[in-house]
Structure 1
């Protein structure tokens, strides 16, 4: 166990050195290597945990969070816990993750197409639209969340879902493309 902890701390230190985002606010608990990149702002509010042990990719993966442009803001709320190998990239519109939300392994959240989709304009920037994830949302492994999506409070996003449309409060979303299932009961 000591050797594993030493190895992980070395990996965390390496990614800290590689990180180049100058505008980082807050201090998350880091259990897995995290690469913070970009010219924008990455804001951790309160008690945020990045990484999970024991879980897949703990010793082999890393979390990647990039606020690519100066106007890009990524805000991660209090009590958020991200599992291993999460990627969050804002190209300018912004990404907000609400309090007490949980993200599984290999979750990707993107606020942009990054490139124009037309073959003659591929070198031009793509369209951006903000992404907002409500409070107390549980996002399963291998989920992809794309630009312009709002996921309401108290939702569950099932393993492998591809979210291209907004999901109202208290719903289950699943599939590719995602469909909305039944409403979730509230206490």
Structure 2
């Protein structure tokens, strides 16, 4: 690597990663992912990383902009990421209860997992901060394409594929390809 490449790496990658480590405030983090991209860890809950978790992809959109955002909001909130998980750029999880990502999962760029409504749907309670929340579970060997949103209460079965741009609102069985808004099974594997 030449001098100019090293300077670019230091200024546009290494410093950004260190900045987001400094800005992170989650105190209950277990395990250490391999960082190729900035990671911001927020909240009062627990965040667990398995072995060989990769955050960020160099040759992918959003590499020089944005960051990965993981928030285990409340004391009882928990994010569990298994072994050999590869997460592309601009990924986020907002967790009020529990989000589980099992082993050998691939997640595309600009994906979101949220286990809650964000705000109460009742207009009189919308600003109270305790929306409905239900756990999200992603099975082993799942491949999630880019620009996918996975919403509260969803379970995705082992070995399944979620197509680009999908909004997953209901459970997806194992060994299928699902796509669309809302995501539906389009074929078996």
TM range (shorter): over 0.9
Report the equivalent of 1:117: 121
Task: Return the alpha-carbon distance in structure 2 between the equivalents of residues 34 and 2 of structure 1.
Answer: 21
Report the equivalent of 2:57: 52
Report the equivalent of 1:14: 19
Task: Return the alpha-carbon distance in structure 1 between the equivalents of residues 124 and 48 of structure 2.
Answer: 36
Cα-Cα RMSD: 0.7
Structure 1 segments (4+ residues) deviating >3 Å: none
Structure 2: tracts of 5 or more residues without a match: none
Task: Return the alpha-carbon distance in structure 2 between the equivalents of residues 161 and 3 of structure 1.
Answer: 38
Report the equivalent of 1:30: 35
Task: Return the alpha-carbon distance in structure 2 between the equivalents of residues 76 and 5 of structure 1.
Answer: 27
Q: CA deviation at 1:42?
A: 0.3
Q: CA deviation at 1:4?
A: 2.3
Residue 107, structure 1, aligned to residue 111, structure 2: yes
Task: Return the alpha-carbon distance in structure 2 between the equivalents of residues 114 and 64 of structure 1.
Answer: 15
Q: CA deviation at 1:103?
A: 0.6
Report the equivalent of 1:129: 134
Task: Return the alpha-carbon distance in structure 2 between the equivalents of residues 120 and 21 of structure 1.
Answer: 31
Task: Return the alpha-carbon distance in structure 1 between the equivalents of residues 31 and 8 of structure 2.
Answer: 27
Report the equivalent of 1:2: 6
Residue 139, structure 1, aligned to residue 144, structure 2: yes
1:143-164 deviation digits (Å, cap 9, x = unpaired): 0000000000001000000000
TM-score (norm 1): 0.96
| 3-state SS in 1 of match to 2:174 | coil
Q: CA deviation at 1:139?
A: 0.4
Structure 1: tracts of 5 or more residues without a match: none
